[in-house]
Structure 1
């Protein structure tokens, strides 16, 4: 009997373990906490303690700090390593692969072909001061009746019937439509002759929007200069001289003429001071 009483005393001294059942709804976490506090109030005197609120607040603060540390620790070292390695690799590979300054050097006017024009993908063109000749390759056996050609003062359109135009755009400068014509050579090449309206200017392109040539590098043939009348030839030679002078940074023919006039005037009036004289 003594043994039984001891067992009963031991069992009565142990804390009671009561089951707690509640369902957690993530959309309403406060409802879950309310059930927890209701359970504590019903089954214990913990909430009656003066320090209960401070202790619960301390538990909440500790849980928040633990959550912050858990979020920072895995993120920082991994992200730093992953973010540093790609940038190092990229920085080491860029100088070896990218060289864009070369592209900038190639931009701008291009050197003209032997005929002072340009060779394009679908056609080519050459020029003299008086005329522009456009050559368009077409399928062998092409006949005149299958060609569509419209030459207007400021526009050129050429193509084959039933197909998209090969050329369709605004001319660089006006032409004389009545003095223009076209023909087919050997049934495989269409040749168009355009007579310039201004026969003292080199064209930079045939149709606007195409690559432009550097007209300062145009080289007229001497034989063609000999065929010109004296006045036109003199004008062409003057233009060529001025272009060469500009390339070398020297005065043009007009500037040289003004300098000669000033020198003559200075020699005729030695009593005048021309130190600050400027030529306009």
Structure 2
């Protein structure tokens, strides 16, 4: 039996408890990594601590379409491996901040997709549980924002086994029609 089937059988309280446990496990796995990372739909920002006093010339940073490596010259990289998704190399950058932190900015090639992890061999996040920052929704034009909010609402409704906004609209229209035509029998009606 898959995790999803198990999950569907849980009560809302049990789902919340499992989600909380999953989030805590994910947070612990991410905290154990030698870097921190955040993402928006369009980009990923990675913070890699390095010894205080590090200079740019001491660093060896390689950013490729599908690979990333950050480390000190002559030493094992702090992080290195295959990126989980392709990036736009020409729009991706790195900088050294306060001689103790390497900031890597990766521009995603597919800007409509959440990343599960940065490097493929590192622990994954459950991308279905990502809540986009509301401030970013505010950057969208009205039509796009409405579409994104509808998709987020529909996604949440589906996860809870509730009707999507389109299904709710159909149910509402049918209800109005039934009220306008009490003489018709709708007991066998199916909404598709």
Q: Same fold (TM over 0.5)?
A: yes
State which of 190, 214, 217 in structure 1 corresponds to 2:129. 217
**Aligned position for 1:155:** 67
The equivalent residue for 1:234 is: 146
1:183–1:201: structure 2 CA closer, same or farther, 3 Å change rule? Answer: same
SS at match of 1:142: coil
Alpha-carbon distance change, 155 to 275 in structure 1, aligned in 2, over 3 angstroms: farther
Q: Find out whether 1:166 has 2:78 as its counterpart.
A: yes
Query: What stretches of structure 1 move > 6 A for 4+ residues in a row?
Result: 270-274
Q: Choose from 107, 110, 122 the match for 1:198.
A: 110
Q: Does 1:177 align with 2:89?
A: yes
Kindly indicate whether residue 129 of structure 2 is the aligned counterpart of residue 208 of structure 1: no
Question: Which residue of 1 is the match for residue 55 of structure 2?
Answer: 143
1:109, 1:153 → 2: CA distance?
31
Q: 1:169 to 1:256 in 2, by over 3 A?
A: farther
Displacement of 1:119? 3.1
Checking the alignment, whether the CA contact within 8 Å between 1:158 and 1:166 is kept in structure 2 is: yes
Give the conservation status (yes or no) of the 8 Å contact 1:147–1:161: yes
Q: Do residues 125 (structure 1) and 37 (structure 2) align?
A: yes
Distance (Å, rounded) in 2 between the aligned partners of 1:122 and 1:223: 28
TM-score (norm 1): 0.50
Correspondence 1:251 to 2:163: yes
Taking a change above 3 Å as real, the CA distance of residues 183 and 168 of structure 1, as seen in their structure-2 partners, is same
CA contact (8 A) 1:109 1:212 kept: no
Residues 225 and 149 of structure 1: CA distance in aligned 2, closer, same or farther (over 3 Å): same
Structure 1 residues 122 and 224: alpha-carbon distance in aligned structure 2, compared to 1, 3 A threshold: same
Structure 2 Cα separation of the partners of residues 196 and 239 of structure 1: 21
Residues 1-280 of structure 1 correspond to what in structure 2 (within 5 A)? 110=23, 118-253=30-165, 255-256=167-168, 259=170, 263=174, 275=188, 277=190, 279=192
Deviation at 1:109, TM superposition (A): 5.4
Q: Equivalents in 2 of 1:150, 1:260: separation in Å?
A: 55
Q: CA RMSD in A?
A: 3.3
| Ranges in structure 1 where 5+ consecutive residues have no aligned partner | 1-104
Question: What is the distance in 2 between the residues matched to 1:136 and 1:244?
Answer: 34
Question: CA separation in 2, counterparts of 1:123 and 1:260?
Answer: 49
Counterpart of 1:35?
none
Name the structure, 1 or 2, with higher relative contact order (CA <8 Å, separation 6+): 2
Q: Which has the higher strand share?
A: 2
| Distance in structure 2 (CA, Å) of the matches to 1:200 and 1:159 | 30
| Larger Rg, first or second structure (1 or 2) | 1
Contact 1:149 1:157 in 2 (8 A): yes
Provide the aligned length of Structure 1 versus Structure 2: 169
CA 196–261 in structure 1, closer or farther in 2 if over 3 Å, else same: farther
How far apart, in 2, do the equivalents of 1:277 and 1:135 lie?
Answer: 54
